[in-house]
Amino acid sequence: MADERFVFIKDNTEDMETARPSLTYWQDAWRRLKKNKLAMIGAFTIIFVLLFGLFGPSLTKYSYSDQLNKFKNLPPRLEIFNVDENLNFHLSNDYNIFLVTDNGEVYDRLEPDKNQRDMINKIYIYKYGTEDNYEEVILDFSYNLLPSKQGYDYNFTIEYDGVVYTQPNDKVFNRTFPFGTDDLGRDILTRVMYGTRISLMIAFIATLVNLLIGVVYGSISGFEGGKVDEFMMRIVDIINSVPLILYVILLMVTFKDNDGLTNIVIALSTVYWVSMARLVRGQMLALKEQEFVLAASVIGVPRYKIIFRHLIPNAMGPIIVSMTMMIPSAVFTEAFLSFIGLGVSAPQASLGTLANNSLTGLLTYPYQLFFPALTIAIIILAFNFLGDGLRDALDPRLRKG
């Protein structure tokens, strides 16, 4: 046969049907996820919260355990008495007078003059200025006590430079402590950032450990089947037959001696893997009947390789979804434990301990609860949004639509 009979056909791309570039499973899922607005909001919020917790504490001027005795229980929004140019007084809920600049920086606290205070009538004199050259500030709380001073619609006065103020005439945001300070004078913003870091760290580590144990346990159980499966699932059933939080509490009580952080991680990760194991087992049962597994075992791929190279990657979708849902529930559980006093030990603080600490002064200083609680809610909401989005993006049942 002569070679000239063979002619190369021209590379004609125009005639070919222009197909969409084929997408892998993950590319397709990512495309779907990008379209889901709520999920993307969730994802960005998570990134933001992570940055907030990781880098936030090093950006503020204070450390989470710094106690500034002078500035206790300062709220994030200050009610001020404007008494002079760039001089404002803030009377705090525990009756201290703070000096505030016009744009809301708290820079000092006035000390009462111990020689001049009138404890019986509750009239206090504060000194503003230096030791020799000062102005008197008179804080008068006698309106509830003295019969001669009753019948006014205010119950205290502040007198400075001859002018009497009966109520705050302005409000500014606290620039020095944007979230306020707690009862030991610690900056709440820093503490919330630090607490976020601790809470998320516990949640991530516990979830990773759960993932590892659950995936290995579940895939062995599902792949082996038969007696092994039955025995392994019996154990899971027994663990699961009691509210898991009870085990966690028992474990926390049992090793109270270690560092609180380690305890929580151990307690959470020894218990919560059971749901992951169940999920993975279910996936394995469905997947192991498929042809590619048969093909792999026919060409002699060892069993562990079949599990880790062929089965687990195919079950990754539901695993990731369940992992995303595990993180907020770990945050929840951790907060719950800290709240009943089994959490991380002081001076460390998680969002749960912060919420717990704020309880004693709740009615007077509600902002001390507000910020940690809000952060917990934001974290849980963000992970829920992302998890829902991931489920929609990864669930093969919905892939037709």
Partner 1 sequence: MKGYYAKRIFSALITLLIITTLTFVMMHSIPGGPFTRERPVPAEILRTLNEKYNLDAPIYEQYFDYLKGLVTFDLGPSYSKIGTTVNDLIISGFPASAKIGLYATILIVLFGIPLGIVSALKQNKPIDYLVMFMATLGVTVPSFVMATLIIYFFAGKLGILPSFGITSPLGYIGPVLALSGYSLSFVARLTRSSMLEVLRQDYIRTARANGLSEFKVIYKHAIKNALIPVVTYIGPMVATILTGSFVIEKIFAVPGMGRYFVESVGNRDYTTITGITVFYAAFYIIMVLFVDIAYGFIDPRIKLGKEK
Residues near partner 1 (CB under 8 A): 237-238, 241-243, 245-246, 249-257, 332, 335-336, 339-342, 355-356, 359, 362-363, 366, 369, 373, 376-377, 380-381, 384
3-state helix, strand, coil in the chain (%, to 5): 55, 10, 35
Q: How far apart are CA 273 and CA 218, in angstroms?
A: 9
Residues whose CB falls within 8 Å of the CB of residue 129, separated by 6 or more in sequence, listed in order? 135
Distance separating the N- and C-terminal Cα atoms of the chain? 54
> Do you know the residue count of the chain?
401
Q: Smallest gap, in angstroms, from Cβ of residue 8 to partner 1? A: 55
| Closest distance of CB 332 from partner 1, Å | 6
Nearer to partner 1 by Cβ, of 172 and 376: the residue is 376
**Helix, strand, or coil here: 84?**
strand
Minimum Å distance from CB 237 to partner 1?
8
CA separation for the pair 9, 360 (Å, rounded):
85
Number of Cα atoms under 13 Å in the Cβ half of residue 395: 11
Looking at the Cβ atoms of 54 and 381, the one nearer to partner 1 is 381
Q: Residue 66 has which token pair?
A: 């710094």
User: Could you give the CA distance from residue 372 to residue 390 in angstroms, rounded to a whole number?
Assistant: 27
Q: Are 90 and 80 in contact (CB under 8 A)?
A: yes
Q: How far is the CB of 362 from partner 1 (least distance, A)?
A: 6
Question: Of 176 and 368, which has the nearer Cβ to partner 1?
Answer: 368
CB 100 to partner 1: min, Å: 26
Which C-beta is closer to partner 1: that of 9 or that of 363? 363
Q: Which is nearer to partner 1, 212 or 359 (CB)?
A: 359
Nearer residue to partner 1 within complex by CB, 158 or 274: 274
| Smallest separation, CB 102 to partner 1 (Å) | 30
